[in-house]
Amino acid sequence: MIRSTWSIMKREFAGYFATPLAYVFIVIFLLATGIFTFYIGNFFDRGQADLQSFFSFHPWLFLFLIPAISMRLWAEERRGGTIELLMTLPVPLASAVLGKFLAAWAFTAIALALTFPIWITVNILGSPDNGVIIAGYIGSLFMSGSYLAIGACISATTKNQVIAFVVSVAVCFLFLVSGLPIVLDVFRSWTPPFFTDLLASFSFLTQFNGIVDGVITAKSVVFFASLIIVWLVANAMVVELKKAN
Amino acid sequence: MTAMLEVSGLIKRFGPITAVDGISFHMERGEVLGFLGPNGAGKSTTMKMITGFLRPDAGSITVCNYDVVADPLSAKRSLGYLPEGAPLYPDMTPRQILKFISEIRALKGAACEAAVERAINAVHIAEVLDQPIETLSKGFKRRVGLAQAILHDPPVLVLDEPTDGLDPNQKFDVRSLIQSMAPDKAIIISTHILEEVDAVCNRAMIIDQGRVVADGTPRELQAQSPYHNAVSIRVSAATADAARRDLAACSFVASVEQRGSEAGSVHFIVLAEGRTPILNEVGALAHGADWEVDQLYVEPSRLDDVFRAITTGEIAERRS
């Protein structure tokens, strides 16, 4: 199980770098984080030694960039028929699902790690609380994992990568904004308070902002981890049910 | 001797369509089974179930005594599979694919290298090892697919159209390869090319509408041809009418078909009553009468005729 997960992860990970996708993604991700942090986030004008302006854009940046990574995971296998090759190898379904997810997640982690110049910058300019910054990175990593798990599951439902991308963005958006008034107000008037609270607690923004502020980290990490597991289980079920179509 | 592959009562439905409708058979070591049938007959679906890709709606499959549904991993370890169209990851090279498969198949170190080496040599892909699959010709892709199927030297091989897209030389190579592996494996191949069955299979099965409609050695199947033991005779145009009349009147002749005429001679196929040998009788008749015979030989019975006759219901009609 571990060996086959590792083999599949390696193959999948190499797949990102076999096409320009990996490089395009990393360049755009780094450019976008830079623009958002320094221009839109007013990193310098804020005059504070922290990475708030860097992290606060991650939920929105990931909304469009992460589905671009996850869209190919299963849709490409189904389009090319290689899913038949993969599923007739002595590989547990869980290994295939996990291996693909971990490959995409590792790739995201690398992209995230390459933002280190921003971290160095803030340390040169001032003395930030590096604990909070590490928490921010962990939160960002787990949030990207949740986006990826959603995207991987949706990728398994279709042969078409564009459909996988669009639907993934839509679903991720729902999870992202479920804590905002725009959604909560719709439900507040006619549902009991616990429901709106529940809805709000599913919000990526709520959970992520908690981590970035340096509070309730453990709880939010558990939230994202559970979400990843649920979507990966759904992913396995979708693959099993739809592989023949 | 225990069966290498045991299939019983296999059923698979896709919505209202029953793609496989109660297929049962078993195979032993040394058998090369050719799956024949029209498109959509259920050949590929049956193969997908044997290899554990599709779950049967009913029935059971055991590969080397492992149940494909209950213990899929053990069954898959004993299997090599070339799926229809030989799907492979387009951005990988053959070397990378073989390495990936050998890792998944838990081949390590020297054993891994030996296996990859053997597979590469068996299908002759050494010159394209480091080119991405997407740049390879159809023939090379098919052979890389074959290489990954035989990589771990599995006791049971399932090959869906292994020679599709290959040129005649490559076909010959692949057939030789299958024959050389045959003695200690059970091999199923599906094909549209009936001569392939003659060339490599020692057992043939015709599948139509999800059912096995014929199962036997290629020779046994050929004997079911309406043209089995038919005699081909070419006589000059002047005596053609007489020959046709005389032949049709004989008790050992089922019917006489005209195949065309050219350069003053007419070509008849004389179908034997009961498909028994009639060459001597026809010869004697021709000798006794004064037909001008140009050619006289036993028509080779071809699987194509059997295939067509069975899958279009002709044989059933003739028997009834």
B31 and B109 both lie in a single domain: yes
The total number of structural domains in chain A stands at: 1
Structural domain of residue A124, as residue ranges? 2-242
pLDDT in tens, A27-47: 999 999 988 888 877 777 777
Could you tell me if A88 lies within 8 Å of chain B, comparing CB atoms?
Answer: yes
Q: Tell me the pLDDT band of B317, cut-offs 50, 70 and 90.
A: very low
Q: Closest-CA residue in chain B for A18?
A: B91
Long-range contacts, A76-82 (Cβ 8 Å, 24+): A76/A161, A78/A156, A78/A158, A78/A159, A78/A242, A78/A243, A79/A159, A79/A160, A79/A161, A80/B87, A80/B89, A80/B90, A81/B83, A81/B84, A81/B85, A81/B87, A82/B87, A82/B88, A82/B89
The pair phi, psi for residue B186, each rounded to 5°, is -115, 125
CB A203 within 8 A of CB A213: no
Position B310 in a domain: no
B189 and B246 both lie in a single domain: no
Could you tell me if A94 lies within 8 Å of chain B, comparing CB atoms?
Answer: no
* Contact between B91 and A19 using a beta-carbon 8 Å cutoff: yes
B91 and B29 both lie in a single domain: yes
Judged against a pLDDT cut of 70, whether residue A136 lies above it is answered with yes
Q: What's the gap in Å between the CA of B275 and the closest CA on chain A?
A: 44
Could you tell me if B76 lies within 8 Å of chain A, comparing CB atoms?
Answer: yes
B185 and B292 both lie in a single domain: no
Six-digit token string for B116:
């990859």
Q: Tell me the pLDDT band of B113, cut-offs 50, 70 and 90.
A: very high
Domain boundary among B195, B217, B239: B217
Average pLDDT, chain A: 89
Mutation test of the interface with chain B: which of A8, A84, A95, A241, choosing the one with the most B Cβ atoms within 10 A? A84
The total number of structural domains in chain B stands at: 2
B241 and B187 both lie in a single domain: no
Chain A CB contacts of B87 below 8 Å: 80-82, 84-85
B54 and B171 both lie in a single domain: yes
Give me the CATH number covering residue B235.
3.30.70
Q: A-contacting residues of B 30-69, CB under 8 Å?
A: 48, 51-54
- Euclidean distance between the first and final Cα of chain A, in Å? 26
Q: Which among A18, A91, A244 is the nearest to B91, CB-wise?
A: A18
- Euclidean distance between the first and final Cα of chain B, in Å? 38
B177 and B238 both lie in a single domain: no
Position B282 in a domain: yes
Could you give the CA distance from residue A217 to residue A225 in angstroms, rounded to a whole number?
Answer: 12
Chain B CB contacts of A91 below 8 Å: 73, 104
pLDDT in tens, A144-169: 999 999 999 999 999 999 999 999 99
Position B74 in a domain: yes
* Contact between B87 and A82 using a beta-carbon 8 Å cutoff: yes
Q: Which residues contact B183 (CB under 8 A, 6 or more apart)?
A: B29, B30
CB A98 within 8 A of CB A231: no
Structural domain of residue B22, as residue ranges? 5-217
Judged against a pLDDT cut of 70, whether residue B265 lies above it is answered with yes
Predicted TM-score (pTM) of the model is 0.87
pLDDT in tens, A191-228: 888 888 887 777 888 888 888 777 767 888 888 999 99
B176 and B97 both lie in a single domain: yes
Q: Which residues contact A11 (CB under 8 A, 6 or more apart)?
A: A99, A103, B89, B92, B96, B100
Whether the ipTM is more than 0.90: the answer is: no
Q: What's the gap in Å between the CA of A20 and the closest CA on chain B?
A: 11
CA-CA distances (angstroms) from residue B179 to A79, B31, B32? Answer: 33, 10, 8
Q: What's the gap in Å between the CA of A79 and the closest CA on chain B?
A: 10
Average pLDDT, chain B: 88
B262 and B181 both lie in a single domain: no
pLDDT in tens, B123-182: 999 999 999 999 999 889 999 999 999 999 999 999 999 988 888 888 998 999 999 999
B202 and B237 both lie in a single domain: no
B240 and B203 both lie in a single domain: no
